[in-house]
Structure 1
Amino acid sequence: MGNREDLLAGAKRCLMEKGYSGTTARDIAAAAGTSLAAIGYHFRSTKALLNAALIEAMEEWGKEVEQTLAADASLSDAPAQRFEATWTRIIESFARLRPLWAIQFELIAQMDRLPELREAFAAANRQARLGLAAIFENLDPGADERKAMAVGSFYQALLGGMATQWLVDPDHAPSARDLLEALRTVGARLGPQ
């Protein structure tokens, strides 16, 4: 690994241990085994490095979700089983990646003061919606982007809501089975299209 990669890895470790606001340039340089000057050389600023590290960590989580769903692809003929299995794995990831979720909520509260991060989050959110629609429902955004965006927004809202509940009160947050039961209840009340 070069200094740039070492800095990204060190920044990700610091983000997980100290959060966004609690991480300093010295923390990152020490974790990466590089000089402070390397941050400026490769990223111009500590904020730019932290933003890049956070986006990379979120992308890694997204790839993990994709792999999770691929592992459950054998259940494609049983959508309810696939839904429950997938959400069980996603909920398990909340425990492993609690700091990543906490950081996102920390930053959402500061979005008005971090316009560069707002732009990055907004772009990532748009991509995430389309990705979630493709992953969960096999919707091709090229065929019907409006529908894919709407379905992806639903899954994104569910994901964010579950993360919130899990961060605040993991012992009483809904399980995957609870989500499935709730979705069935809501769907039954809505009736057929």
Structure 2
Amino acid sequence: MGHREGLLEGAKRCLLEKGCARTTARDIVAESGTNLASIGYHYGSKEALLNLAFLKLAEEWGEGLADSRGEGATAGDLPPLERFERGWAKAIDSYGHSRPVWQLQMEIVSRLDSDPELQHALAGPQLEGRKGLAESLLGIDERADPERARLAGTFLQALLAGVMVQRMIDPGTAPSAKDLTEGLKIVTGRDEVAAGG
């Protein structure tokens, strides 16, 4: 592994262990076995390196969620509400090992107003994340139905952030996949149809 890759991997480990504000350039160098000059040479600044490291961690979480599909019937073979519930069960189950990524995400979001570069860097991946969520959680292929994937992904992304924050605050009362599915039925009026006949 070269200096560039080593720095990125070291920065990812530092972010997960210390967060963004507490990670120094020296921490990254110690973790990667490189030198201080390498950061400027390969990434321009520590902030640019940390921003990229965060994007890679978020991307890896999304890939892990996509890889967890499978298990019997594919998402496309299930009724929509069952697909929704199964997808959310996987997303919620991932929280145990991805908590550091979510804590880091909350820290990063709190910096956006003072860091326009970071805000700009997150815009593209946020759109890609929506497509990934639509496919991972609902089986919607963005190439086959881009507008449906966009709308579903936007909804799922908003819900995902709220669910994960609730898990951080109080895991005991955070919603389960079943809770989310039942709530969706109420919001869409499907619970009245079931209750009425």
Asked if 2 retains the 8 angstrom alpha-carbon contact of 1:68 and 1:89, the reply is yes
Within 5 A, what are the aligned runs for 1:105-120? 105-120=106-121
CA distance in 1, matches of 2:75, 2:134: 17
Which residue does the alignment assign to 2:68?
A: 68
Asked if 1 retains the 8 angstrom alpha-carbon contact of 2:85 and 2:177, the reply is yes
Provide structure 2 residue ranges, at least 5 long, that are not aligned to the other structure: none
Q: Does residue 20 in structure 1 map to residue 20 in structure 2?
A: yes
Instruction: Return closer, same or farther for 1:32/1:147 CA change in 2, 3 Å cut-off.
Output: same
Q: In angstroms, what is the RMSD of aligned CA positions?
A: 2.2
Alpha-carbon shift at residue 77 of structure 1 (Å): 2.8
Asked if 1 retains the 8 angstrom alpha-carbon contact of 2:87 and 2:136, the reply is no
Alpha-carbon shift at residue 136 of structure 1 (Å): 3.2
CA distance in 2, matches of 1:48, 1:177: 40
Instruction: Return closer, same or farther for 1:18/1:143 CA change in 2, 3 Å cut-off.
Output: same
Q: Does residue 7 in structure 1 map to residue 10 in structure 2?
A: no
Q: Does residue 94 in structure 1 map to residue 95 in structure 2?
A: yes
Residue aligned with 2:140, SS: coil
Q: Does residue 184 in structure 1 map to residue 193 in structure 2?
A: no
Q: Does residue 128 in structure 1 map to residue 129 in structure 2?
A: yes
Q: With structure 2 as the length reference, what TM-score do the two structures score?
A: 0.87
Which residue does the alignment assign to 1:170?
A: 171
CA distance in 2, matches of 1:85, 1:147: 19
CA distance in 2, matches of 1:22, 1:73: 44
Which residue does the alignment assign to 2:51?
A: 51
Percent identity over the alignment is: 46
Instruction: Return closer, same or farther for 1:157/1:63 CA change in 2, 3 Å cut-off.
Output: same
Q: Deviations over 1:105-164 (max 9, x none)?
A: 112111121111101211111122222223333434455533322111111111111111
Asked if 1 retains the 8 angstrom alpha-carbon contact of 2:185 and 2:191, the reply is no
CA distance in 2, matches of 1:118, 1:178: 32
Q: Deviations over 1:6-30 (max 9, x none)?
A: 1111111110111011100011111
Which residue does the alignment assign to 2:42?
A: 42
Which residue does the alignment assign to 2:29?
A: 29
CA distance in 2, matches of 1:72, 1:82: 12
Asked if 1 retains the 8 angstrom alpha-carbon contact of 2:19 and 2:104, the reply is yes
CA distance in 2, matches of 1:151, 1:88: 17
Residue aligned with 2:175, SS: coil
CA distance in 2, matches of 1:42, 1:175: 43
CA distance in 2, matches of 1:89, 1:140: 18
Which residue does the alignment assign to 1:157?
A: 158
Query: Counterpart of 1:44 in structure 2: which amino acid?
Result: G
Instruction: Return closer, same or farther for 1:131/1:74 CA change in 2, 3 Å cut-off.
Output: closer
Alpha-carbon shift at residue 182 of structure 1 (Å): 1.2
